[in-house]
Structure 1
Amino acid sequence: MRSKEDSPQAGHCRSNANDGAPRAIGPYLLALALMTVAWLAAGSAMAQAPGAKPRSSLGVAVVALKSPYAGYGTDTVAAPIISYEGRRFHLRGGSIGYKVFDTEQTEVSLMASPYMMRFKRKDSDDLQLRQLSNRGFSAMAGVALRHNASWGLVQANVQAEVSGHGGGIAADAKYAYPLPTGRVTLMPGIGVNYAGSALNDYYFGISDAEARRSGLARYRAGSGVSPYIDLTAVMPLGTHWTATASLRRSVLSDAIKDSPMTRGDHMDAAALSLSYGF
C-alpha cells in the first residue's frame, strides 16, 4: 500500500475548465445537505428545556458544505426540514426510528438511516478521480440513545451497514449544553464519529483496477475516528416559528486524510433554517 505522495501526478492533473462556473447540485451534495439539516434540526430540539420532547416541524434550510473529495468545491443548496414525532415512530432528518424505551429524560430507539456519503466521479474536477468508480449511498440500521438533563444533552448511536456495500460499523456520540442569552439560546457541542474499515474502504479506498486506470496509488482504508465541534444558535419567533443557525467543523481521521481521493484535513458545514413546529 502506498501513500498519496507515492501516486504519480497526484494533485497535478486537475481540470480548470469549470472554474468559476455554476455547479449542478448532485445527489452527493443533497445527501450532505440532508445530514446537515438533520444536525441543525437536532440542535433546535436540544435547545428546549431539560425533559422536553422534540416537536414535529416543517421548514427550509440553506446549507453550505465542503466535501473532503478532491475536485469538489464548497456548494450551497436549499433543502427542506421535515421532522415527525409520534408516540412510537419518529422521522428526524433522513432517519426513521421506533422508540423501545421512552421517559421524560431518556429515549432508546431502533433506527434506520442512510449513510450520508456518496462519490460521483463526474462531480469532481480532478481528472484522476474521474477514472474511479462511483460510490453509492449505504443503508444503515442500529440503535440510538438520547438523554436530556439539566447538565446537558447526550446523543449516541451505533449502526451497521445493511445494503451490501461490504458491511461495516458506524458510531457517533455527542454532548451539548444550552446557554440562554436573552432571546437566543446558544448550543455548543462536541462529538466524535467512528467509521469501521469496511465503510472507510468503500468510500475512500482505491482498488488495483482503479489505481491502474487513474495513476493514483492503491489504497486500503482502515477504521478511523473523526472528532468534531459545532455551535448552534436558536431563536424562537413566536409560539411556532424558530430560526436556527449552525456551524460545524469535523477533523478527518487519518484513514480518510491518507486517501489519494481526499484533500485537506477537515470538513466544514454551515446552515440557516426557518421552521414551524407543531
Structure 2
Amino acid sequence: MQIGSRKAATAGITLLGLLASGSVLAQAAPGERPRSSLGLAVVAQKSPYAGYDTDVLPVPVINYEGRKFHFRGGSIGYTLFDNEKTEVSLLAQPHVMRFKRKDTDDLQLRQLDNRNLSAMAGAAVRHTAPWGVLQGNVLAEVSGHGGGIAADAKYAYPIPTGKVVLIPGVGVNYASSALNDYYFGISAEEAQRSGLARYRAGSGVAPYMDVTALMPLGAHWTATASLRRTLLSSAVKDSPMTRGDHMDTALLALTYGF
C-alpha cells in the first residue's frame, strides 16, 4: 500500500466527484440550493493497471455553489437551466485515468508510454423527483489525446435513517474506442519494446454501484463515507495492461458547509 503517491490523485478526483454528488443529492429538496463546503478526505483506490498497488491519499475537498457557476469535486460547471427540479449545465472535468510506467511493478508495462489525464468538456443534466434522482453527462476529450467520447448515467435515492442519510446508487459509464485505446491500447512499437501483444481497445460499457452515507455533525460539519465498485468493460479487461475485472474505491471525509 502506498500513501500519498501522485497516481492516487485520480482516485481523489473520482471519489470527490462522488462526495460532491452525494452532498447535492442529500440537499435535493425543491427550493433548497446545495451548500458550498470545504474539508478533507482520505481516498483509497486499486488501479486496474497491472503492477499498481492500492493507494491511499489525503485530498482537500472544495465544493462551490454559485448562482450560475459551480465547482463540484474537480468538475467546473455553468448552469444553463434550473427550475429546482431539473438542472442542465455545461461541464468541464478531467478524465480520471492515467498510467505512469514508473509506478508499476510489472517489467513489461514499464516499457510502455505514459498515459496522462485528459480534459473533457460537454453537458450534464440532473433531475430530482420523489422517486429519486437521475443524472448524466456526455463529454468529449479536448486535450489532444486522440479524441473520444465518455458518457455517464446514474440513478440514486437518498434515504434518511435517523441522523444519517444513505444514498445508494447504480450507474453505467460509456467510453468510446478512441478514449479506451489511449489508456489501454498497445501500439506496434510498444509491443515490440515490451513483448506484450499489440492491442487496440474498442468502446466499452462499465456498470457501477455505490453507496454514500452522510452524517451531520452540528449545523455546519458533515462526515461522509462512500464506497464504489466498478465492473470493468470487456475492452478494458482484455487489455494486456490490466488485471482483474473490477475496480473498488473508498472515501472518508469531513467537510464544513456554508
Give the alignment's TM-score, normalised by structure 1.
0.90
Q: Distance in 2 between matches of 1:275 and 1:63?
A: 14
Which residue of the other structure, out of 118, 121, 137, is the alignment partner of 2:98? 118
Q: Which moved more, 1:252-261 or 1:177-186?
A: 177-186
Q: Distance in 1 between matches of 2:250 and 2:118?
A: 24
Unaligned runs of 5+ residues in structure 1 are 1-21
Q: Which amino acid aligns with 1:116?
A: V
Q: Which moved more, 1:22-31 or 1:80-89?
A: 22-31
Q: Which residue of 2 aligns with 1:45?
A: 24
Q: Which residue of 2 aligns with 1:15?
A: none
Can you list the C-alpha shifts for 1:171-208, whole angstroms capped at 9, x where unaligned?
00100001111111111100000000000000000000
Q: Which residue of 2 aligns with 1:242?
A: 222
Can you list the C-alpha shifts for 1:29-58, whole angstroms capped at 9, x where unaligned?
112212211212211221224323221100
More strand by share: 2
Asked whether the 8 Å contact 1:174–1:191 carries over to 2, the reply is yes
The reply to whether residue 225 of structure 1 matches residue 205 of structure 2 is yes
SS at match of 1:165: coil
Which residue of the other structure, out of 154, 171, 176, is the alignment partner of 1:196? 176
SS at match of 1:212: helix
Q: Distance in 2 between matches of 1:82 and 1:153?
A: 23
Give 1:66 shift.
0.5
Asked whether the 8 Å contact 2:69–2:76 carries over to 1, the reply is yes
Asked whether the 8 Å contact 2:2–2:54 carries over to 1, the reply is no
Q: Which residue of 2 aligns with 1:216?
A: 196
Q: Distance in 2 between matches of 1:146 and 1:187?
A: 15
Q: Which residue of 1 aligns with 2:84?
A: 104
Unaligned runs of 5+ residues in structure 2 are none
Q: Which residue of 2 aligns with 1:19?
A: none
Q: Which moved more, 1:74-83 or 1:259-268?
A: 74-83
Q: How does 1:146-185 map to 2 (within 5 A)?
A: 146-185=126-165
Can you list the C-alpha shifts for 1:241-271, whole angstroms capped at 9, x where unaligned?
1111011000000000000000000000011
Asked whether the 8 Å contact 2:39–2:254 carries over to 1, the reply is yes
Asked whether the 8 Å contact 1:50–1:150 carries over to 2, the reply is no
Q: Which amino acid aligns with 2:164?
A: V
Q: 1:24 to 1:128 in 2, by over 3 A?
A: farther
Aligned length in residues: 257
Q: How does 1:20-31 map to 2 (within 5 A)?
A: 23=2, 25-31=4-10
Asked whether the 8 Å contact 2:120–2:140 carries over to 1, the reply is yes
Q: Distance in 2 between matches of 1:82 and 1:35?
A: 14
Provide the alpha-carbon RMSD of the alignment: 1.1
Q: Which amino acid aligns with 1:225?
A: V
Q: Which residue of 1 aligns with 2:65?
A: 85
Higher relative contact order (CA 8 A, sep 6+): 1
Asked whether the 8 Å contact 2:3–2:55 carries over to 1, the reply is no
The reply to whether residue 130 of structure 1 matches residue 130 of structure 2 is no
Give the alignment's TM-score, normalised by structure 2.
0.97
Q: Distance in 2 between matches of 1:126 and 1:24?
A: 19
Q: Distance in 1 between matches of 2:111 and 2:207?
A: 31
Q: Distance in 2 between matches of 1:252 and 1:193?
A: 10
The reply to whether residue 140 of structure 1 matches residue 134 of structure 2 is no
Q: 1:245 to 1:23 in 2, by over 3 A?
A: closer
Q: Distance in 2 between matches of 1:219 and 1:58?
A: 43
Q: Which residue of 2 aligns with 1:256?
A: 236
The reply to whether residue 73 of structure 1 matches residue 53 of structure 2 is yes
Q: Which residue of 2 aligns with 1:59?
A: 39
Q: Which amino acid aligns with 2:106?
A: D
